[in-house]
Amino acid sequence: MTLLPFISSLLIFMQTLQCRLSMHRISMYRVKDAWAIVNERNPFLSGWSVAHPSAFSKRLCYDGVDEGTGDGSSEMRRSASSKITMQDIADTLGISKSLVSRALGNDGKISERTKEQVRLTALELGYPLNSSLAAVPSSRTGNIAVLMPRSHLKDGEFWGHVVSGAEEALHRASFSLVLAGVEGDDSPAEGMPSCITDRKVDGAIFMGRVSAGVIAEVLASGIPVVLADVRTAGLKLDHVLADNFRGGGEAALHLLEKGHRRLLFAGDPAFSFSFAERKRGALQAVRDFGDGASASALASESAAESASASAFIEAIPSELEGGYKLVVPIAALEEALQRTGATAVVCANDSVAFSVIENLQALGLRCPEDVSVVGFDNVERCEWVTPKLTSVDAGKTTIGRRAVELLLRRMNDSETRPETRLVATELVERQSVAVRELR
């Protein structure tokens, strides 16, 4: 008889793990404390789609969702009239509806493991978590929290502009912004800011690479949440993202149209969802260009077909320096250039691009004469470096403003269907790309 509780827990664990693996085609998960806890280590989203007519493709779209839905997830999609209930959560976990209710109600007799598991499952299924919490104060504080990993607080070049856009929108709406750092990993109990634990804010905007566990901890307190430039697979929340896929394609297409046929992608796609999408967009641009989709940009269609046959993208790794600065090791860059004969590099962000240019100079190579470089984010330093860096503008301040718009909507109507908004990107040409003669 003493084995029954263990066997029951094991069956629940296996059922939950199987359900989550079946709901996600690409996302990776890990097991924590005998429960399947979602980890954002490799958050490749497989379920959202917004189609884009593009200069480098007849039709580019994200996998899985009908055009124009704006829904950020495809797992267990239901009709608009069907709502997720506590019974759905109970059935998914193989537990009773009563236990789900008590866990969501923060019953002190329910273990923290069970509460966390129920909360994460509720988020994945799209259950309106905030409405299940009875201890939500009715009066508003007039404050909105912007939460990001503490390492991001050092990166004013990018995140400073996103926060500025959010502050501008909040000021117009008569709210004050409270900026705080959180842990980026699955350690929500450590260092959660007092503005959250003491309920001194009416809503929260997460920015950067924050884990599902940290996000769930804030949601569990009854605070509405929006994610800005971060994608966490499995959580049905409002998101605002740069159109990274299209931006990566714009960067690659620019190089292809300048005559480059051997391209490298600098940056680790596993580092973030944004990096993965930028590489995916660059690859799609190369494929489309090879199919003659951009033949009009060259002298003749036949020349385009013969020249683009060798166009390709190969990734070289990046490393995190100082907790927030991404760099490319000089040895990895040198090896990739020698092995592939690449004449241009698409970089995952501007920090990587600055590192590539610095390493090219150390190797005795000139930018752009020997190797052309395109960055991503269009930070202010692009104007200061030599040569001035061509970069894809990610709409940083717009991301902040759109996040506030979604959060205010969520605060006024917690039942609104989660939405993903893509912010348009734009290539800003400077001096780091040279024309390559076709041979």
Per-residue pLDDT of the chain (439 residues; tens, 9 = 90+): 455 444 445 444 454 444 444 333 323 222 333 223 333 323 333 333 333 333 333 223 332 233 333 333 333 333 333 678 888 888 999 898 888 888 887 777 788 778 878 888 887 787 876 554 434 444 689 999 999 988 778 777 899 999 999 999 999 999 999 999 887 655 555 568 889 888 899 999 999 888 888 898 898 888 999 999 988 777 789 999 999 999 999 999 999 999 999 999 999 888 888 999 999 999 999 999 875 433 322 222 233 333 333 455 666 777 766 555 788 889 999 999 999 999 999 999 999 999 999 999 999 999 999 999 999 999 999 999 999 999 999 999 999 999 999 999 999 888 888 999 999 999 999 999 999 876 6
Same domain, yes or no: 267 and 337: yes
Is-contact 75 127, C-beta < 8 A? no
Q: What is the pLDDT of residue 209?
A: 84
SS3 per-residue string spanning 85-153:
CHHHHHHHHCCCHHHHHHHHCCCCCCCHHHHHHHHHHHHHHCCCHHHHCCCCCCCCCCEEEEEEEHHHH
Q: Residues 248, 377: one domain?
A: yes
**Residue 137 placed within a domain:** no
Same domain, yes or no: 248 and 390: yes
With respect to residue 164, please indicate whether it lies within any of the assigned structural domains.
Answer: yes
Amino acid at 428: V
128 and 94 within one domain: yes
Domain stop point among 132, 167, 189: 132
Compute CA distances 96 → 36, 92, 134, whole Å: 18, 10, 20
Same domain, 117 and 172: no
| Residue 428 forms part of a structural domain | no
**Residues ≥6 apart with Cβ < 8 Å to 178:** 143, 144, 145, 146, 195, 200, 201
Number of domains in the chain: 3
pLDDT of residue 165: 96
Q: Which of 109, 132, 155 is the last residue of a domain?
A: 132
235 and 248 housed in the same domain: no
Q: Assign residue 215 the CATH number of its domain.
A: 3.40.50.2300
Q: How far apart are the first and last CA of the chain?
A: 78
Which tokens belong to 429?
């040409």
Residues 163 and 201 grouped into a single domain: yes
362 and 289 in a common domain: yes
CB 230 within 8 A of CB 208: yes
- On whether residue 264 sits in a domain, the answer given is yes
Q: Give domain status of residue 326, yes or no.
A: yes
Q: Are residues 151 and 164 in the same domain?
A: yes
In a domain, 21, yes or no: yes
pLDDT for the residue 46 = 31
Residue 138 pairs in a beta bridge with none
- The answer to whether residue 154 sits within a structural domain is yes
Q: Residue 207 has which token pair?
A: 């920015």
Instruction: Give the distance from CA 255 to its chain's centroid.
Output: 25
Examine the domain organization and report whether 27 and 116 are in the same domain. yes
Predicted confidence at residue 191, as pLDDT, reads 66
Same domain for 406 and 347: no
The pLDDT of residue 19 is 43
Same domain? 87 vs 100: yes
Which residue range(s) make up the domain with 127?
A: 4-32+47-132
Q: Report pLDDT for 306.
A: 33
Q: For the beta carbon of residue 404, count every other beta carbon within 10 angstroms.
A: 27
> What's the distance, CA 398 to chain centroid?
16
Of 385, 427, 432, 435, the closest CA to residue 251 belongs to 427
> With a threshold of 0.75, does the pTM exceed it?
no
